[in-house]
A and B are shown apart, each in its own frame.
Chain A
Amino acid sequence: MTELTDQLYHFALLDEDAQREIRRKLLKAVAIPGHLVPFASRDMPIARGWGTGGLQITLSLITPEDTLKVIDQGDDESVNAVNLRRLITRTTGVATTTDTTAATIIQTRHRIPEEPMRADQILVLQVPMADPLRWVEPNIERATIMHSEADYGKMWVYMYESIVRAGDLRIASQYPVIVNRRYMMDTTPIPRWDVPKLHMAETLYLFGAGREKRIYAVPPYTAVEPLQFEDYPFRTEYRPGQRCARCGAENTFLTSHFVADAHGGRWETTCSDVSYCTKRCAATETTA
């Protein structure tokens, strides 16, 4: 009886038909890189906007042999990452890891891990907005027509105006890119730092927007070019001389946080990819 009540749900929560629908859409997304494929997006036991799209993709992909890593802001211990991991492991029983190199599936929000990912891994990105044209054309019906005609003039004007006003391409995260020289794609709020990692990568990238009910993909070895002008090229957040206060890395994406100490505390910038940072610290200790 306990066994019955404990195993109320289907493997990976979603029923077989729901998983199948997402699988069909994922195959089309891979075949049409950067194109937004509508999917039903079932109601999930976590709130819309909290990773239901990525979660549905992960649950449709996952097999009992997988090793899963879930991060939010680059951190495995972020409250939402913890919560999603808890749901996935409770409905699948798969092994989990914090080590990027040990995972077969990584579900992430807002970051691509610093360590290069391999061909035998899949990165699943949680997406809040899905359509890069939303800034210039909020009506989906019209935006779909623009995509179908590769009519991206409005977006170029938007980019141009942001340079004139702010002296920079004013889009911090969710930077628009052109995939496979055809579709304009929203990179989800990864920082610009991570955008080059999408270009001609070894790994398959799958994007899921649950509330917007769209799936899209960037296959490996696919051209992903950020929107830029000849005289205003795309730049990442890199600042010369930047350094992680914890592991000393000079080429990682950093975030600042407050550290309390006897003198009242100070602000510190450290790697946002916490697992990578910890790994570097451990390596230094071993050699020391």
Chain B
Amino acid sequence: MSLVAAPQTPLERFNGQTFRVLLDCLARPGKIGQLPSPPFTSVPSPADTTPSNVTAIAACMSLLDQTVSFVHAVDKSWLPATHPLSRWIMVRSNARLVTPAMADFALLHDFASIALLPQLPEGTLLYPEHSCTVFLCVPAIVAGGKTLRLTGPGIATVVTVGLPDAASNDLAGLMARRGLFPLGVDLFLIDRQGFCLGLPRTTEISLC
């Protein structure tokens, strides 16, 4: 039986592999997935003091196209469409940069920007899926570490993960606006090594 399809391009391959990691991480909160290396180079930085987490940006972009919208932020403020990184993302994804309350996706380039979480859509009772998916860049994620204690769907009993270097304010921001099921935002935490932690709205988070 002959193959009738062309092989995947490097970007399609990245998008396909990334999706499987994201799906697995969201289905199993607390399981730390390893994202593949993105086929992007020379990505603009969100801020002079904050280098870009290319894996997180590429993972978010793997889900963007002209039918969806996004916002991104660094140091607790939303970046405008004129920012070089906004342009870089828009040109490659065709996604629209909108106001936070309308965003399908949010890319938070540093942990502190989690403070902006309450501005993002949480869905409605009729359409709880019309909620934001957030990609949050964090310094490091440690499987089995002792920062967060997670329970809920996808977790057999309890699981713990470590977020070294996380400030208590950041952790408080992470735990805000939860327990509203079926409403809520869904989060992916991605560290500098490309390790990924999924936190769907169903996960109950407490501190260890």
Contact = CB atoms under 8 A, between A and B. Distances in A.
A/B: CB atoms within 8 Å of each other: yes
B51 to A, nearest CB: 27
A60 B62 CA distance: 13
Interface in A37-91: 37, 60-64, 86, 89-91
Contacts of A12: 5
Contacts of A89: 1
A20 interface: yes
Nearest to B181: A182
A8 interface: yes
Interface string A181-202: 0110000000000000000100
A27 interface: yes
A217 B27 CA distance: 10
Contact of A7 (B4, B23, B24, B186): B4
B155 A221 contact: yes
Nearest to B105: A24
Contacts of A37: 129
B113 interface: no
Contact of B3 (A17, A19, A27, A93): A93
Interface in B92-115: 104
A11 B6 contact: yes
A221 B200 CA distance: 14
Contacts of B58: none
B5 A119 contact: no
Contact of A63 (B5, B20, B26, B67): B20
Contact of B200 (A8, A17, A31, A90): A31
A16 B15 contact: yes
Interface residues of B, number: 47
Interface string A1-38: 00000111111110011011101111111111101010
Majority SS of interface residues in chain B? loop
Q: How large is the interface on A (under 10, 10 to 19, 20 to 34, 35 or more residues)?
A: 35 or more
Interface stretch (A106-114, A143-151, A267-275): A143-151
A151 B125 CA distance: 12
Nearest to A181: B181
Contact of A21 (B27, B28, B67, B181): B67
A208 interface: no
B68 to A, nearest CB: 7
B154 A221 contact: yes
In the complex, which of the residues A6, A20, A24, A32 has the most CB atoms of chain B within 10 Å of its own CB atom? Answer: A32
B4 A24 contact: no
Given A6-B3, A61-B23, A32 B12 contact: no
B154 A6 contact: no
Interface in B1-28: 1-8, 12-13, 15-17, 19-20, 22-24, 26-28
B65 A219 contact: no
A149 B126 CA distance: 8
A223 to B, nearest CB: 8
A148 to B, nearest CB: 4
A217 B186 CA distance: 15
A16 B6 contact: no
A201 to B, nearest CB: 11
B6 A10 contact: yes
Interface in A137-155: 144-145, 148-149
A25 B127 CA distance: 12
9 closest Cβ pairs, A-B complex: A31-B200, A28-B129, A148-B125, A222-B153, A91-B5, A7-B6, A31-B186, A219-B154, A219-B27
Interface of A: 6-13, 16-17, 19-21, 23-33, 35, 37, 60-64, 86, 89-93, 119, 144-145, 148-149, 180, 182-183, 200, 204, 217, 219-223
Given A11-B8, A24-B68, 8 more contacts: A7-B6, A12-B5, A17-B65, A30-B26, A35-B128, A60-B19, A61-B20, A180-B202
Interface of B: 1-8, 12-13, 15-17, 19-20, 22-24, 26-28, 62-68, 104, 124-126, 128-129, 131, 133, 153-156, 181-182, 184, 186, 200-202
